[in-house]
C-alpha cells in the first residue's frame, strides 16, 4: 500500500519513519503548499515523490491512502479535498475542530463512499486489547473508576497557542484522556464537570474533567500543555488496580493488589513508532471494502468531538471560524 502524506511537519516525519520501517506499506509521496518544503522533507525522510500542491499528489493514481498531518483547523478542508479525489483518508487527531465539521466530513465520505478514519493511535495499539483482556479476566474485580493524566510543556509551539488553528490542550492532548475513558468505561455519561485555565491567547492551557457514568462509575481526567506530567492512566477495581504507563503510547502495564504492592508488570510489544497499527488497520479495512475502521468507528469519533464541544462551550473557548 502506497501512502501519501499531506503536510510536511513534525508529525508527518514520524509517519514517514513508521512507513519506512514497514513491509506492508510504503512512504510513497509527500505534499506541501511549497515544493521546496516538500522536496526537503522527501530527501530527509526517504520519500519517493514530492509535490508542491495537495491536488498534484491527489491526482497521482498510485496513492492508495492519504495521511492528513495538518492542523485540526484544516482537517475538514483537506479531508474533503482528498475524498473529492476518491482517496481513502487517515486523518490525524483531533479529527476536526468541532462536531459540526466532523459530521460534515463523515457525511461527505459516506456520500462519496470513500474510506476515512481518525488517527487516534491509542485506539489501534496492542495495549488496548491487553488492557481489555486484563479487565475481562476479572483480576481487578469490578471496575469502579479511572484517572488519566497527560501533560507536556508545549507553550513554545505557536500552533498550540493560536485560536485560528484550533489550538489549546484539549484537542491536542486532552483527546487522549477522553479516549482512554471511552475505551475503558464506555460513553454512557450523565454528567460532565470541568474547569480550565486559559492562556493569554484565549485557548485552554490546563484542563480538569470529571465524567460521571449512569452506572455510577467515574473518570477523573487532567490535561496540560503547560507542564510535563507522569502520563499515567489508572484503572481502579474492587480487587486491585492497573497503571498504564505513558498513556498515549503505553509501554508497560502494571497490576497492583489492593494493598498497593506490585503483582506483575507486562511490557507491550516492540514497535516502530506505534503509528504502524493505525496504518495496518486502514490496510485491512480498505482491502475488505469497508468505509471505517472497527477500532475507531465514525460514531466514536463523533461522540468524542461532541464531548470536546461541550467542554469548550462551558469554558467559553471558541475558535474564530466557528
pLDDT tens digits, 79-123: 999 999 999 999 999 999 999 999 999 999 999 999 999 999 999
Q: What is the span of the domain harbouring residue 288? A: 2-120+275-293
Task: Please indicate, yes or no, whether residues 133 and 265 belong to a single structural domain of this protein.
Answer: yes
Which pLDDT value is given to residue 42? 98
Which pLDDT value is given to residue 224? 98
Which pLDDT value is given to residue 156? 92
- The whole-angstrom separation of Cα 231 and Cα 301 is 22
Element holding 218 (H helix, E strand): strand 218-224
Task: Please indicate, yes or no, whether residues 130 and 115 belong to a single structural domain of this protein.
Answer: no
For cell 479516549, what's the residue? Answer: 179
Domain CATH for 149: 3.30.360.10
Grid coordinates representing 84 are: 473529492
Count of domains for the chain? 2
Task: Please indicate, yes or no, whether residues 131 and 166 belong to a single structural domain of this protein.
Answer: yes
Q: What percent of the chain has pLDDT over 70?
A: 100
Task: Please indicate, yes or no, whether residues 257 and 137 belong to a single structural domain of this protein.
Answer: yes
Which pLDDT value is given to residue 316? 97
What sign results for the dihedral spanned by CA atoms 303, 76, 14, 271?
positive
pLDDT tens digits, 271-286: 999 999 999 999 999 9
**Measured at the alpha carbon of residue 169, what is the angle toward residues 119 and 275, in degrees to the nearest 5?**
25
pLDDT tens digits, 199-258: 999 999 999 999 999 999 999 999 999 999 999 999 999 999 999 999 999 999 999 999
- Give the chain's end-to-end CA distance (angstroms, integer): 37
Which pLDDT value is given to residue 119? 98
Task: Please indicate, yes or no, whether residues 248 and 113 belong to a single structural domain of this protein.
Answer: no
Task: Please indicate, yes or no, whether residues 148 and 229 belong to a single structural domain of this protein.
Answer: yes
pLDDT tens digits, 11-53: 999 999 999 999 999 999 999 999 999 999 999 999 999 999 9
Task: Please indicate, yes or no, whether residues 112 and 133 belong to a single structural domain of this protein.
Answer: no
For cell 495537495, what's the residue? Answer: 54
Mean pLDDT of 57-62: 98
Which pLDDT value is given to residue 206? 98
Amino acid at each position: 500500500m502506497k501512502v501519501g502524506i499531506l503536510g510536511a511537519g513534525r508529525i508527518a516525519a514520524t509517519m514517514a519513519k513508521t512507513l519506512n520501517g514497514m513491509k506492508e506499506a510504503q512512504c510513497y509521496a509527500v505534499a506541501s503548499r511549497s515544493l521546496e518544503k516538500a522536496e526537503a522533507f522527501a530527501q530527509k525522510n526517504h520519500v519517493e515523490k514530492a509535490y508542491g500542491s495537495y491536488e498534484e499528489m491527489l491526482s497521482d493514481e498510485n496513492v492508495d491512502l492519504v495521511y492528513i498531518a495538518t492542523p485540526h483547523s484544516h482537517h475538514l478542508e483537506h479531508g474533503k479535498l482528498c475524498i473529492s479525489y476518491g482517496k481513502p483518508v487517515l486523518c490525524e487527531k483531533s479529527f476536526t475542530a468541532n462536531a459540526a465539521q466532523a459530521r460534515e466530513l463523515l457525511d461527505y465520505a459516506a456520500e462519496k463512499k470513500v474510506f476515512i478514519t481518525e488517527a487516534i493511535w491509542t485506539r489501534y495499539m496492542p495495549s488496548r486489547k491487553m488492557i481489555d483482556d486484563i479487565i475481562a479476566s476479572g483480576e481487578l474485580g469490578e471496575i469502579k473508576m479511572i484517572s488519566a493524566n497527560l501533560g507536556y510543556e508545549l507553550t513554545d509551539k505557536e500552533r498550540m497557542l493560536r485560536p485560528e488553528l484550533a489550538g489549546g490542550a484539549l484537542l491536542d492532548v486532552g483527546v487522549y484522556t477522553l479516549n482512554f475513558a471511552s475505551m475503558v468505561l464506555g460513553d454512557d455519561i450523565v454528567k460532565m464537570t470541568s474547569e480550565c485555565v486559559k492562556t493569554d491567547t484565549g485557548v485552554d492551557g490546563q484542563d480538569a474533567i470529571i465524567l460521571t457514568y449512569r452506572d455510577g462509575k467515574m473518570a477523573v481526567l487532567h490535561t496540560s500543555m503547560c507542564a510535563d506530567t507522569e502520563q499515567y492512566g489508572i484503572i481502579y477495581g474492587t480487587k486491585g488496580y492497573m497503571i498504564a504507563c505513558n498513556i498515549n503510547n503505553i509501554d508497560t502495564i502494571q497490576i497492583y493488589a489492593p494493598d498497593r504492592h506490585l503483582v506483575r508488570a507486562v511490557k507491550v510489544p516492540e514497535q516502530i513508532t506505534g503509528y504502524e497499527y493505525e496504518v495496518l488497520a486502514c490496510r485491512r479495512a480498505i482491502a475488505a471494502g469497508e468505509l471505517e475502521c472497527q477500532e475507531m468507528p465514525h460514531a466514536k469519533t463523533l461522540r468524542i468531538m461532541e464531548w470536546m464541544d461541550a467542554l469548550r462551550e462551558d469554558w467559553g473557548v471558541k475558535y474564530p471560524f466557528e
